[in-house]
Amino acid sequence: MTTVEHDKSARTGPLAHLRVLDLTQFLSGPYATQILGDLGAEVIKVESPEGDMTRRLPPHFVGSESAYYLSVNRNKRSMAVDMKTEQGRAVIARLALACDVVVENFRPGILKRLGLSYEDIAAQKPGIVWCCISGFGQDGPYRDRPAYDMIVQAMSGGMSMTGEPDGPPVRSGIPLGDIAAGMYGVIGILAAIAERERTGRGKLIDVAMLDCQVAMLSYQAAYCLTSGQAPKRQGRGHDSIPTYRGFTCGDGNDIVITANTERMWVNLCAAIGRPDLAQEERFRTNDRRYANRDALWGILEAAFRTKSANDWVEALLAAEVPAAVVNTLDRSLTDPQVLHRNMVLALAGPQGEEARVAGNPIKFTGEAEAEPGYPPLLGADNHEILRSLLGFGDEELAELERAGVFGKATGAASARKAG
C-alpha cells in the first residue's frame, strides 16, 4: 500500500494545523475523529494488533474490510501497537507528545493504569487537548459500567418515547447514543483549542454518552420536569402539534406533514379539498385541534388514502405546506438533493476497491471539498509514522518488531512496506 506523506502542507481545511492521536474504536470515537479528519486534521488511528473489531463486523464488506469500519474511518492513518507491552506504551506516549489532540474511548481508568492518562502527558505537554468519550463519564456511580448505544438510548428515556403508543419501546434506527457523543466530543475539542489559542493550556474533556442523550431530550425533558409526567411513546405524531404527523397514502407509502402555523393549517385544509375544516369550531385553533386530535387524524387519514404519496407531497408543497415522503435508505441515498450536496462519497481504495459511504455535511462556501482518503489498512503506516514523526531508525524499528509491539501480522506487513 502506498502511503501519502501527511505533512501539514499536503492537507487542507481549517484544522490542517492539527495532529490528532485517535485511540478510539467502534463508533463514538471514530465518528468524532473522522469529523476532525474531514476538517483537515492529520489523524493517526492506533489499534491493537488485532484491529478495531468493526473491521470484521458483518454483514457487508468491501475487500477485507467491513462496511461499518469504512463508514467512520476515512482520512486517517493507521498504526497497530500492542499497548500491553512496555515498548508499545512508550511509543503511544511519544505519539501523544507529538500531537495536539488525543481522543480515547477506553473505559475510565484503563489508560491511567497503563501510565497513559491525560495527567501523565499534560505534565510534559500542558497544551495537550484530551477528549475522553465513555458511556457514563469519568465519575459517578455508573462510571465503571460498560455502555453501548442502545444502553444509553434506553437509560436516557429517549427510547421510551420511540414507537407506537400501544407498542413496546423501540431503539432509534440511527445510533444516536454513539453519534451524539462523537459530535459533542468534537464541539468540546474545538472549544478547548480556541481557549488554548489564548492561554496556551489544554483541557481534559469528559463526554458521557448518557449525558449527551439527556441533553438531546430538549423540550421533552422540560415537559416532564414542568408537568411531573413522563411523555408517552410518540408514534407518528408530536406532543404539541396535531398536524405534525405521518400518514399512510393510497399507494401504501407514508408521508409526513408539518403544518405548524395557522396559515399552514388553512392551506392544508384547502389542499385536501376540505376548506370547511378550517372554520369548524373544534379545529379553529391549535389548542382545539389538539384536544380533538383523534377526530382530526381520522379525517386526514381518509383524505390521504385517496392519492399516492408522491401526488400528495406535490400538492402539499404547491400549497406551501411542508411535506415529504418517508424514504427508505435506498431512496434517500439516490435523492437528487442528497447527491447534489455530495453526501454520498465514493472512496477509492489502494487496490482498486471502491467504498461508498455517507459524506461530510460541513460545507464551506466557495471552497471545493478535499478528496477523501480511503480508510487505512491495519498498521499500514507503522514504520512511516515512527520514522518521519518520531525519528525512529532501522534498528529501533527492528527491535519493536522483535518485541511484538506491532503484532506478528502487522509487523511483517510494515517491514515489507518499509523495505
**Burial degree of 152 (CB within 10 A; 0-12, 13-18, 19+):** buried
- Distance, in Å, from the CA atom of 335 to the CA atom of 283, rounded to the nearest integer, reads 36
- 65-66 and 61-62 beta bridge pairing: antiparallel
User: Catalytic site residue 381?
Assistant: no
- Choosing from 149, 178, 211, 381, which is the catalytic residue? 178
Judged by DSSP in three states, 247 sits in: strand
Cα 387 to chain centroid distance, Å, stands at 32
| Residue 316, C-alpha cell as written in the block | 402539499
Q: Which of 64, 44, 43, 68 lies closest to 54, judged by CA? A: 68
Q: Which of 82, 210, 197, 196 lies closest to 154, judged by CA? A: 210
Any idea what DSSP says for residue 25? -
Any idea what DSSP says for residue 281? G
- Distance, in Å, from the CA atom of 104 to the CA atom of 419, rounded to the nearest integer, reads 32
Q: How many CA atoms lie within 13 A of 304 on its CB side?
A: 26
Q: Which residues contact 52 (CB under 8 A, 6 or more apart)?
A: 25, 26, 30, 45, 69, 73
Judged by DSSP in three states, 292 sits in: coil
Q: Please list the active-site residues.
A: 178
